[in-house]
Structures are given as structure tokens and as C-alpha cells.
Amino acid sequence: MAIEKVGIYRKWLEPVPKRNGNPIPKSEWPRKRRYCWIVRWCGTNLQKYGKLFKTRKEAEKYALDLQKRVNLGKGDKPQQVTLQQFRLEHEQVMKGQVAYATIQEHKRVLELFEKFIGGSFALSKIRPRYAEAFVADCLASNKVSNGTVNKWIRTLKGIFNLAIEPRGYLAEGQNPFAKIKKRKITEKSLRYVDLQEYSALMDVAATKLWWKAFLSIAYGSGLRRNEILHLTWADIDLEQHRIEVRAKKASDEILAWEPKSRKNRVVPMSNESAKLLVDMQVNAPEFHPYIFVSLERLDRIKKRRKAGKWNSRSEVINNLRENFIAIRSKANVVKCTIHDLRRSAITNWARELPIQVVQTLAGHSSITTTRKYYLAVRPEDFESASRVLNLVLNRTQSD
């Protein structure tokens, strides 16, 4: 039975006829050369199959019936594998396709589900009721939030979709997590860092050029933490005031790295950031490629890489979060994160730029992400809303 599109072709039954010692043109083959019709398909075992028919009508009828069975999920029975076998295979197959962090997340969630249901459980026998029971068990333990469980549901749904296509372990419609509903959660309000708070952070970091440049790029250019840390001098265009966020291949002096979206992009840079980077460049070691990774730190990382103790989830800079919290506390700024600086930059862009431009600058693969998670309501937005409300009420009263 087929698992791929069924095709119909002519099957030639004799060599190409010749005329005056030369093969006849291909356009004359149907009239001058005997043939029948063949239906071809590929089975779930990846073997190619075919069946011959005298007429095209017979072949088309057979192919149509065959394709209908495939579309209804009645093709060959998928190969039987256990959940544990699938997990181990999935970890290997996904290498190079997604980020290392994503692979680790897939591995962790699959291991949790495997621990609940049993690693020897046949993949094809996992039903939605087992998925529902797993979710209920996670919530009953009170160890994880609804948001975390929703993330696991989304992750497992995507993983089991891969078990259907392209791996063929499950038939169409057999994803046990396909119809598992996410739990309702109250969306957290987005933290917006205003200019006054940003200035307070910069004042505290006044004697620390490294931190001033880091904060300036995060708040002005909207880069993620690791995008900033992996910047090299080759990524900076001080004349055009632009920063290129691009993947890097491993070399003696460069660490292998890819942006989260796996897409390179160019973002603008403020005059403030440009001046700070010029000051950093003056004191930078000669031929050292990185802006925010010191020569000493890079040497330690290279030693770890040589010993096989380095991967893409290793911290490029230690204690970054803790040091930022210390600066924030000293600046008397209400709780915020480094990522909130990026979110605030995106919100500022959205005030003046079309949403599709903001999406591109932010490096989001989906505009939904930009709209849902990065467009915060600023204090001045509340003031504008109040002015509109008062204007409407005044007009109503005057009428």
C-alpha cells in the first residue's frame, strides 16, 4: 500500500523503432511502439511497487482507489516502534535541523511522557486518553504551571506529527496530542522599560563601559542576550550605524552559533551605541574578534570546547543575569529582565514603523509572536486613552 502520491505512467514493451537507421522521434512513440500502463507507488517500507494494466482507464481506476485508501489512513500498517525507540531516534534525527536547546527540550518532554506511560509502549497504541491522563498527572503534582503544561502539549503535538510524516510510524489522524486542549491561563502583562528607567540603568553602569554598550544595544537595537554576546567586530558597521546578526561557523577563534530564528538579519544602531562601541574598540585587544567576550574568557571557552565540555547552551558570560539584577536594584528600577529591554525596543519601533517591518527587525518567524508577546502598552498610551475618553465625555455632556 502506498504512503506517497500514486503515479500513472506508460510502460514500453519494445525497443524504440528506427527509420532509416535512426530512432523515430519521441512524439511518434505512442503510435509506433507497443505499451501498456503502470501504476507506481512507494510503500511504508520505502520499497517501490508497480502494477500493469492494458488500458489507461483501468490504471486510473486502480490508482484512484489506492490514493483514496492512503488519504483515509488505510495504507500499509506503520512499522512498529516503542516510545523509547522513537525518542532515541528523534534525538539523533533532529540534530542539525533545529537548535541544540530545542533538541534538549524535546528530549526532556519525551522522557517525562515515557516515564509516565512506559518506554516499551508501542507508539501506534498511544491513544488520546493517555495524553490526557499525562497532562492531568502533571497538573495534579502541582510542580508545574498551566503555562508549562501548555508548552509541553504544543511540543509533543509537534513531535508526534513528525511520527506521522515524514517517518511513517503513525497513520494520519493518530496523533494522540492533536486534540488535547490547552489549559486556560491568565496572560502576564508585558513589562515596558521607559526612557527614565533606561537612563537610570545607564547611570548606574556609567563606570562600566561593557555594561553601557550591552544595555544600549539591547534597548536601542532590540537584540536578544545571546545575539549581543556573539557579536564580533565584523558584524558592526559604524559608518551606516547597523548591526548584522548572522550565523557563525566554528573556527580557531570563533564559536559556532546560530540566531534563534535561524535567519540572518540587519538591525539599526543608535548614535549612543555607535559611540560606546568606538570607545570599546579603542581598548580592544588586537585581532580579538569578539566585542563582549574577553580574550581571557574566549581562551577558557576554547579549552572547554577542546575537552568536549562546550555546547550551544553553555553560558558565554557567567553571572550575566545576577550582575544585571545588581545594576537594576542600585538604579531603583522596578523588576525587569534583559529581555524586557529587547521587548521595549520592539514596542518603540511599533510606534513609528509598520508591523511587518517590526517583525523583520525583531527576527520573528511569525508576526503573531510580534503582536502577542512584544507590543507592550506604554505609560503614554494610557494617557492618550484618558484624553480620548475625556474628549468623548465632554462632547456628550455638551450635546
Position 176 pLDDT exceeds 70: yes
**Among 96-105, 185-194, 328-337, 385-394, which stretch is predicted with the lowest mean pLDDT?**
385-394
- Full-model pTM: 0.68
Residue 311 in domain: yes
- Do both 58 and 87 map to the same domain? no
Task: Clarify whether residues 55 and 156 are in a common domain.
Answer: no
Q: Look up the domain containing 26 and give its range.
A: 7-71
pLDDT at position 3 over 60 = no
Of the two residues 311 and 281, the one the predictor is more confident about is: 281
Q: Judge whether 260 and 306 are in contact, CB under 8 Å.
A: no
pLDDT reported for residue 311: 75
Query: At 96, which CATH number?
Result: 1.10.150
Query: Is the confidence at residue 82, as pLDDT, over 50?
Result: yes
Residue 305 has pLDDT above 70, yes or no: yes
SS3 228: helix
Question: What is the average per-residue pLDDT within 288-299?
Answer: 94
**Pair 122, 62 in one domain:** no
Would you state the cell numbers that stand for residue 79, as one nine-digit string?
512499522
| Edge-first strand listing for the sheet containing 242-245 | 236-237, 242-245, 265-268
Same domain, 203 and 302: yes
In 3D space, the residue among 156, 134, 145, 154 whose CA is nearest the CA of residue 184 turns out to be 145
Report how many domains make up the chain.
3
Q: Check residue 277 and give its pLDDT.
A: 96
Structure confidence at residue 169 (pLDDT): 85
Structural domain contains residue 303: yes
CA–CA gap between residue 269 and residue 285 (Å, rounded): 23
Please check whether residues 223 and 303 belong to one and the same domain: yes
Domain assignment present for residue 11? The answer is: yes
Of 327, 320, 364, the C-alpha closest to 342 is 364
In this structure, the answer to whether residues 216 and 300 fall within a common structural domain is yes
CA-to-CA dists, residue 127 to 149, 179, 213, 356, angstroms: 18, 11, 53, 40
Q: How far apart are CA 39 and CA 63, in angstroms?
A: 6
Residue written as cell 494520519? Answer: 172
275 and 316, same domain (yes or no) = yes
Q: What is the pLDDT of residue 289?
A: 95
The band of 1, judged by pLDDT with boundaries at 50, 70 and 90, is very low
pLDDT at 74 over 60: no
